[in-house]
Every structure is written in structure tokens, then in C-alpha cells.
Structure 1
């Protein structure tokens, strides 16, 4: 008997040593760790059966105490090893699903069931005790404990239900019926934690969450729909308002192009026409930025099209209807590049501007060409892009009040991309000679122009991956180039 036990301990010592060495080589949990545990469990099973110790059978009570102790110890190790393999399978499954955090509660539940089952099997097959009696006895304690922890258990089972239904996951933006809105950062046995827009942590018990109406803003995808309403005067046909609002949406860079944004007339009276603009943005956090941009575009496009807002004066009194010089001067006031001009200088530019109309698809300025006039959009939308087919890079979308051609006129440089009309476009050209006259009278304006040019140049270079010598250009360098070009 001692020799048999000695051989048995030697065999299992070698197996346990091999497993320990394998875990030292691969200490981190994961697929390789699971494979090691599976190999160990299969080898342990084979050794037990080889030595005539079936782990799923009750030990003979007539056997020697030492033999029963050794067999019981090995059976206990076998059941625990099996439970460990099943528990690791559950964990690895969640890792492969790339959702280890939101599945933690469900993982804990499955692991607990596995280890409780293994413990009952050890009681039955190792200690030869009646499992049914133990379960019945523990049931009484479970009832007492359940009554004492009723509120906690309500949260626990609500959390289990929420995880099984997959109503929300970590990273989702959700809105509850009590106006709680935030991003799910963790869900555990008792509660779900949200991070709201102000960066505060909101903790909601699972029992309350299960009773709430949940709106998941991240399903079926993380893009988010939004809308805004504008009231216009009923002095123009609704069709003209609709076309202008389509141009507003076309000029926005913050919204998604698919699905297509839409414009709908939602109300009409003798005094006003109500228009709703609907669109989608990449994420919920992009809504405010997109709405701000669209409101700015609404102001510029309605001004350019002489469409008064509901609270504006009648259309015939707006700047757009007061004659060409006043209208162009108002456009000049919208352009940041002309922000520091005096009233006389703005009037001089407006008087010299020449009106040009271009059809949809026409090229306003081609890449590698040098423009000879500064151009300012008065109506429509244009796009600045480079590349061919699917590889095209969009630099900007131009709307009324935007200026193009400043690189060629002020620096003598070539255009870095094509500027193409997305709609029918009306623009006003200001000759290089007129810009030179203003610079000769006030050379300090060159510094303001250089600062604005630098901002646009850096943005274009970042998108176009320009060379380092262009990226290192500074405002003083651009100012000197402008002054040298105009011989100042």
C-alpha cells in the first residue's frame, strides 16, 4: 500500500509541477491560460482513471483511512479543476466578445453556479453525504436571508434581467424616463453607473432602472439623429425656403451625408412658415457643434437669398434688397478676412466687386492654378477637395460670406485643391489691384491677413499631409510674403 501511494503521489506531483511551470510561463489570463487548464484537467482525469479512482463515484467506506484521504483529496482537486476550466471558459468567451466589463455581473453569476455545483458534487462523491438534506436545510437559511436582504436581492435580480436582455452596454448613451441622461460606465450587482454631460457620476439602483423607460441612443449605431426648427416670414413661397434650407444642410461639415438630411415644412400661417431641418451626427456629443454650425449657415444663406426670418423687418428693407454695393458690403462684413477694414475701405471693395454666376459642377479654381482675384460667395455652396474618386479629401465647404483665392492673390501661391460648385453659385470677384490699393494705404492690414491665412494653411496642410517646410510657416513669414508680393 505505501508503495502504491508513493507512486500515486509522484505521478500527481509531476503533473502539478508541470502545470505550475506552464502558469509561470503564461501568467496572464486568456486563451493560452484556458488551454493549459484544459490540458491539466484532461491529464488529471486520465491519471485518476488509470489508477482506478473514478472521481464521480462514492468512495468505499471499508477502505483504509489513508487511502480514503488520498483518494478524497485527488477527487476534490479534480472537481475544483473542472469548475476552474468551466469558469475560465465563461471569462474567455466574454473577452472574445469584447465585452468583459458589461458582462461582469453575468460572469459572476455563472461562475458562482459552477463552483456551488462543484461543491455539492464534492460533498456527494468525496464525503458521501446526502446532498438533498443539505439543500433542504440551507433552503431555510436562504429564506431568512432573502427576507432580510429583500431590497438588495431586488437590485441583484433586476441587474441579472437587464444583462440577460442586453438592453444597455458599457459605452452606450441612454436616457431614462426621469430625464437622467448619460454614458454607461459600469454595471454591477446592485447598480448601474452613468457619466452625464457635465462629467458627474449618476448611480441608479438596478431595481429602479428595470422599472424605467430606457431610450438607448447608441443602438443600432452610435450616430444620433437631431433636428431644429426655424420660422421664416410668409413673404416668399415655401419652395424657395425649402431650397435654401437644403443648401444650408449641404454646406454643413458636421452632419452625416448618409442617411441624407431632410427639410420639411411643418407649419404655415399668414405671418410665418415653420421649417424643420432633420439630420444625423456621428455621436451624441456632436449635436451641439452641428446645431451651432447650422444656425450660422441659416443666417448666411437666408441673408444671401433675401429670406427674412419671422422676426425680421420686411424683406424690402434688408441689406440684400438695398442695392448691389450695400449687399456686397454686408457680405464683406461676414468674412473674417475683412474684419478689420474701415467703413470706407469696405465701401471701396464693394464698389469694385464684379458679379459672376456659375452652374452646378463648374470648377471655380483648379488645383495648381494661381488665382488673380479674391472671390466671395454670395449664393450657393462650393466644396474644396483634392484627389480622385474614393480617395478625395475634403478641405472645406464654402457658403455665403466665405472667401477663396486668397492664397494666390495674397501669397502668389498655387491652389492646393479644386474648388467645385455643389449648387448654382453666385460670387463676387475683387481684383488684386484693389487689394493692393488698400494695403498701400494701410500696410498693417497685412498682419491680420497673415494670421488668418496661417490658420487656414495649417488646417489644409494637416489634411493634405504637406511637407514640413510648409507646416513650419509662421504669421510673420506670411506677412513678409504679402508685403513683398505687393512691393510694400
Structure 2
């Protein structure tokens, strides 16, 4: 067979194109298509000129440069084929639509492909028996294996974890050592977690493979939360259970399905245990939901005149009855109910007396529409008991905007801005409210004008929360703008 080595420039162009695509291109589909086209062109050029890179042939005729070119051409073909196969693995080998989680398997196959290409070059370019080479390299492999024992343990543990899939990128896991966090990356040697304080925790795969772990994101993202408190038995267990059922209604981070549960626990002569069980959307909301629920327990128990009971176990110390709030807390006391509102917490006794002179109490049965969507409220209403929900009607469905518990208020936008309510305000349980008229609020605002800024900030925060539903426009959500309108309305 006569070899004509005139495709030199074509091979140089194709080899350069392979290198450019491999180093500079982005996008797996583009890289795979480019590698496939270049490999096909390279094969056509070599075969058309009598060069068969996949055959073991005798030494090429010609001088030294011709022999070097012949070997380089065949080696380029094998490298190009390996690049094409690896790019196909990167493109098509994806587990459940999550390419990052299949990275270890992709890398393993890519390593096998490159190893095969290297052995093929040794066999078909240099005409060296591959079997002898593998046998000779066995001793070296043993030495390297002993030297890299820890690293290899991490590597194979990573492969086992990836194939077993006890967790995925994005899952929140807890180890038996107490370490917990969200999985952000898995690689050959370690798994990276982002913990609750936003710190990166790097755990070797061998350590992770030996650990007991809890996947809080499997089989779904929702996570169960339980809280246990003890309440003095100043009322019947049924009444106490109803109070805690109302408390669960007020949780804004609590899922409604499955429904939260109240379980009454052990009871003695002075107290009874109550366990609250509810679910949140994902493990990242556990802390927020717990904090919210503890705050709701405090507010509702105070509103109902109930108290927590504490005890010191195993020491024979009697129960210590701890009242929530002041010892003389009375749920019917309008003065204390107004002070429980953070907005009015800094008012003096004289200012509180001035504010409560015209206050009236109203009670609404469960399911009552207190204010309709689009209606302008003429009073500021402070919730003293129960839970109120704000829902916006869109077509045939309603979207929840907010939930209010004792200490919260509503009706402020109609009173302070002359604006309509964004949704229906409805009683989720039996609800008691205190109505503060415009005249009574005006007296306090003139005595303490800085309350206008606090009211503006509160209303702006609510408008921000409602903005995602298209309820509020950006111009309405500026605290200083709202405060200015309040000052202008009340002539402060």
C-alpha cells in the first residue's frame, strides 16, 4: 500500500479545532455536536489517505518525519474519539434530570474512556503489547494504592453513595454526629453541606458512608415538627385542646395538609402536657416555624388567661406556676390588650388611658366575614382573641395573604390611607377585637407624632408581603411615603 502524506494541513486544522472546542466552548450539546463532526471529518481524512488508526500495522515507510506524522495522526484519531465519547456521556448520562448528582458516574466513565484511548494508542501506534504493560504496572498500582489508601476510600465511597443515592444535591441531611446541613455539592473526595449558619461543612465521603444519616428532604421536602409544653389545669383538657387548636391556625409557616395535631399528654393534679405536631414546607423553615409557634403560644395563652407550668424532674421540687405576662393578666382588660400591641407598647399610662376611652369590643363567630374585599375600614381593629385570616379573591379561588393573632391589628389602610382592603378579612375561630376610631387614634398621634413612622413601616411591610400577588404597587410600599400621607391626613 502506498501512503501519500498530503493531508498535513487538514489534520492540523482538525486537531486545533478539537483543542479549541474542548478548552473554549460552553454548552454540552454544542460540544458534543462539534466533537462528533470533527471526529467524522478526521476519520474521513485518514481513511481516504490509507491511514487506518484502528489497525496494528507494520512500521510506516518513509523518513523520520513521516513516521512521526503517521503516529501523531493515529494518536489524534484516538484522542478525538475519546473526546467525542466523553462529551456524549456528559450530555446524555443524567440521573432524574439532575446532572450534578451524576457527576461521579460521569467522571468514572470518562476516566475509563481516556484509559482505553491511552491503551489503544500504546497498542496501535507504538505496537506495544498491552497485556504485558498491564502486568508490569500491577506492582506500581499496588504501591500507589497503599499510598493513596485514604483518598481511594473516599473515591469509592463517593461512587457507592452516588449509586445508592441516600441523598441528592439540595437535600437537608443530619448525621449521627449532630452535623446537619443542605447538600450543595458531591465530588470524588467529599460532600459539601451548607449548615444553618450559612457555613460550608466538608465531609469526606468515607466518613459519610459509615455514618447514620437522616434525610429530612426524603421522600418529599416537607418536614414534621413537634413542640411540647405544660399548662396548668385551670380549665378542662377539652378547652385547653381547643385553645391550642386555635394557636395552630395562626401559624403562617405551617402547612394545612396534613392537618396539624394537638395531643394531650400526661396530666397530674396541677398541669397537663400538650404536644403540637405540624409540618413545614422544607427543613430550612423549621427554626422559623418553631419561633413563630412559641410566640403564638405566648400570645394566645395570655389572651385566654392560661399559664404555663414548669417543674424540675427527679429533685422532688413542686411545680412552679408561671403566669404569662403580669400576674393580674385579664383577657377582658382593654388596657392590657392595647399595650400588647408592639405599636403601642411604648405609650405611657396617660396615653393608654386616652387611647382606650373610645375603644369598643366586638366579638365575631367562626367563619364571619369581618371586612369584605374592597371595603374601606373606618377603625383600627386590634385582635385580642382568636385568629383572623386575610384572603384575596382571584376568580373562583382565594389566596391567603396573612394570618393575625392576639396583638396584631387590621383595618389600618382604610383608616390611615383611605385605601380599600386587599382581601376578605374572616374569623378562623371565635374572634374578639378592639375597635379604635379615627378620633381616638388622632389624639395619640398628635401627642406622639413618631407613631406615624411606625404605622408607615408596618403598613409598608404588609404591602411588601402582598406585592407578589399584585396587590400593592411599588409607589405604595415606601414607609416614608406612607408616613407622610398619615401625617397629612391627621394634620400632624
Give me the CA root mean square deviation. 3.4
- Is the Cα–Cα contact under 8 Å of residues 232 and 270 in structure 2 kept in the other structure? yes
TM-score, normalised relative to structure 2 = 0.84
Deviation at 1:278, TM superposition (A): 1.9
Distance between the aligned counterparts of 2:13 and 2:274, measured in 1? 80
Query: 442, 446, 450: which one pairs with 1:447?
Result: 450
Is structure 2 residue 258 aligned with structure 1 residue 259? yes
**CA distance 1:455–1:268, shift in 2 (3 Å):** same
Change (3 A) 1:12 1:144: closer
Matched, 1:338 2:338: no
Aligned pair in 2 of structure 1 residues 134, 412: CA closer, same or farther (>3 Å)?
closer
Partner of residue 422 from structure 1, selected from 416, 422, 428: 428
Which position in structure 1 is the counterpart of 2:229? 230
Q: Alignment partner for residue 477 of structure 1, among 480, 484, 491?
A: 484
Corresponding residue for 2:318?
Answer: none
Match of 1:356?
Answer: 362
Residue 158, structure 1, aligned to residue 157, structure 2: yes
CA deviations over 1:348-382 (Å, ceiling 9, x no partner): 65565433222232211123333333322232211
**Contact residue 26 and residue 32 of structure 1 kept, 8 A:** no
CA distance 1:374–1:319, shift in 2 (3 Å): farther
Q: 2:36 pairs with 34, 38, 41, which one?
A: 38
CA distance in 2, matches of 1:458, 1:91: 48
Change over 3 Å in CA distance of 1:8–1:414 after alignment to 2: closer
Separation in structure 1 between the aligned mates of residue 234 and residue 47 of structure 2, nearest angstrom = 93
- Higher helix proportion (structure 1 or 2): 1
- CA deviation vs aligned residue, 1:289-312 (integer Å, no higher than 9, x gap): 221211111112122223322254
Corresponding residue SS for 2:114: helix
Q: Check conservation: 2:382, 2:408, Cα contact below 8 A.
A: yes
For 2:28 and 2:323, locate their aligned partners in 1 and report how far apart those are by CA, in whole Å: 71
**Which sections of structure 2, spanning at least 5 residues, go unmatched?**
311-320
Distance, in Å, in 1 between the alignment partners of 2:309 and 2:370 is 34
Aligned mates of 1:88, 1:323 — CA distance in 2: 71
Shift of 1:96: 9.0
SS in 1 for 2:308: coil
Within-5 A mapping of 1:387-398: 387-389=393-395, 392-398=398-404
1:457 aligns with 2:459: yes
CA deviation map 1:319-374 (0-9, x unaligned): 56x584xx222211211233233324434655654332222322111233333333
* TM-score of the two chains, using structure 1 as the length reference: 0.85
CA displacement at 1:83 relative to structure 2: 0.9
The aligned counterpart of 1:383 is: 389
**CA-CA distance at 1:59 after TM superposition:** 0.5
Could you tell me which runs of 5 or more consecutive residues in structure 1 were left unpaired when the two chains were aligned. none
Give the Å deviation of 1:191.
2.9
Pick from 53, 58, 61: which aligns with 1:60?
58
Task: Give the match for residue 372 of structure 2.
Answer: 366
Tell me if the contact between 2:226 and 2:278 (Cα under 8 Å) persists in the aligned partners: yes
Could you say which residue in structure 2 is the equivalent of 1:290?
Answer: 289
- Cα distance change on mapping 1:148 and 1:108 into 2, 3 Å: same
Change (3 A) 1:20 1:200: closer
The count of aligned residue pairs is 475
